[in-house]
Amino acid sequence: MVTLSTGSVILVNVAKFLTRRAFSTSRIVEAQQMTVRDALNTGLDEEMERDERVFLLGEEVAMYDGAYKISRGLWKKYGDKRVIDTPITEMGFAGIAVGAAMAGLRPVCEFMTFNFSMQAIDQVINSAAKTFYMSAGKVNVPIVFRGPNGAAAGVAAQHSQCFGAWYSHCPGLKVVSPYTAEDHKGLIKAAIRDPDPVVVLENEILYGVAFPVSDEAMSKDFLVPIGKAKIERPGSHITLVAHSRAVELSLDAAKELAGEGIECEVINLRSIRPLDEETIVKSVIKTNHLITVEQGWPQCGIGSEVCARIMESEAFYHLDAPVIRVTGVDAPMPYTKSLELAALPQPHDIVRAVKRVLNVK
């Protein structure tokens, strides 16, 4: 174990500060920053202004300004008709939202967290996802289901589940999981304009995080295409594939590894259905090594799907080592703080996994 002198420690910390999130933007010409919360808020506002059929419903979205303040100011601007507080009846209001979409409106249905979406999951899957197919292409359902997904902090088992695997399993749905502020703004707008049901998996911890935002992203017509991943950080030794908060953990790990001469290519999936297989395969062909990173549970998770796709693709023949999944621990989320930290992958877990896959000490 190497100990650094005080001067080096200061330098390292300054370097950390300066390079923090430096790679996760499209253009860093302007220094304008935006939190994920504001990005979502702006995206919702712009789409509501653009199309009168767009309306937002959910618990506390109106007068409370949103449980996580995502819809702050929207009720004041658009009024009762377009920003609607619902009673605590997920199955009921999700069904109403789906029916409204079938009849031609463009609802944005908020689940306070996706844990509560389980109450309404029949409406999401059987009513929203399958209707276009069952009606032989007659009735499409232009609805957006959005809300925070996955682990937060200190909310225990019933409030911490990741639903990426559950929703991305179903044909008929499109499922996105943004990371940067630009991702959130572009994808919520793309989701609202999409004529099919889209599930937008946000993350409570990310809401308060600020990202640099390009000029392009400030435009009212800025969209991020659904189904396209983004290479947040190019690299040549190993590919890390992640979605949502796990992208941040992967970038942190990549930074640490870069200091030891290991260059990770970090892919931000942005969408998990469709999954951008092409980008992942191309990357693996280049780096010959792959690790998937997610906060959700391992069995049948997003990492499992990525592994399967790699096995079935040309990339298999370019692997120098088996694909490894870094996931949350396969147990319900504990409340105890130290246990919660240990239940979720941290950057040092990713660093260790990379070194093991690359057979480096």
Partner 1 sequence: MKAAMRPQDSIISAYRVHGWTYLMGVEPVGVIAELTGRQSGCVRGKGGSMHMYAKNFYGGNGIVGAQVPLGVGVAFAAKYSGTDGVCLALYGDGAANQGQIFEVYNIAKLWDIPCIFVCENNGYGMGTSAERGSASTAFYTRGDYIPGIWVDGMDILAVREATQFAINHCISGKGPLVMETMTYRYSGHSMSDPGTSYRTREEVQDVRQTRDPITSFKEKILTAGLVTADELKKLENDIRVTIDEAVKKAKTDNEIGLDELPCDVYSAPLEPTVRGITPWNNLEHKRLGPAVNLH
Q: Does the active-site annotation cover 110?
A: no
Query: What is the DSSP-derived secondary structure letter of residue 123?
Result: I
Q: Does the active-site annotation cover 30?
A: no
Residue 1 touches partner 1, criterion: CB under 8 A: no
Distance CA 168, CA 233 (A): 25
Q: Are 297 and 162 in contact (CB under 8 A)?
A: yes
Distance CA 336, CA 143 (A): 37
**Interface pick for partner 1 out of 54, 98, 257, 267 (rule CB under 8 A):** 98
**Interface pick for partner 1 out of 105, 205, 210, 321 (rule CB under 8 A):** 105
Amino acid letter for position 114: F
Task: Supply 19's token pair.
Answer: 């390079």
Beta strands in the chain (DSSP E): 33-35, 54-58, 83-85, 106-110, 144-148, 174-177, 198-202, 210-212, 230-233, 238-242, 264-268, 270-273, 290-293, 324-326
Residues 247-276 that bind partner 1 (CB under 8 A): 274
Active-site residue identified among 159, 256, 263, 318: 159
**Pick 229 or 354: Cβ nearer partner 1:** 229
Task: Supply 51's token pair.
Answer: 């199309």
Residues 150-189 that bind partner 1 (CB under 8 A): 171-172, 174
Binding string, 35-74, against partner 1, x = CB under 8 A?
Answer: ------------------x-x-------------------
Residues 13-42 that bind partner 1 (CB under 8 A): none
The residue count for binding partner 1 (CB under 8 A) is 50
Residue 142 touches partner 1, criterion: CB under 8 A: yes
Burial (CB < 10 A; 0-12, 13-18, 19+), residue 66, is: buried
Smallest separation (angstroms) from partner 1 to the CB of 20: 33
Query: How would you classify the pairing of strands 264-268 and 238-242?
Result: parallel
**Pick 31 or 136: Cβ nearer partner 1:** 136
Residue 122 touches partner 1, criterion: CB under 8 A: yes
Provide the binding-site residues for partner 1, judged by CB under 8 A: 53, 55, 81, 84, 86-87, 89, 91-105, 122-123, 126-127, 131-142, 171-172, 174, 194-196, 225-227, 274, 312-313
Q: Which residues are catalytic?
A: 90, 159
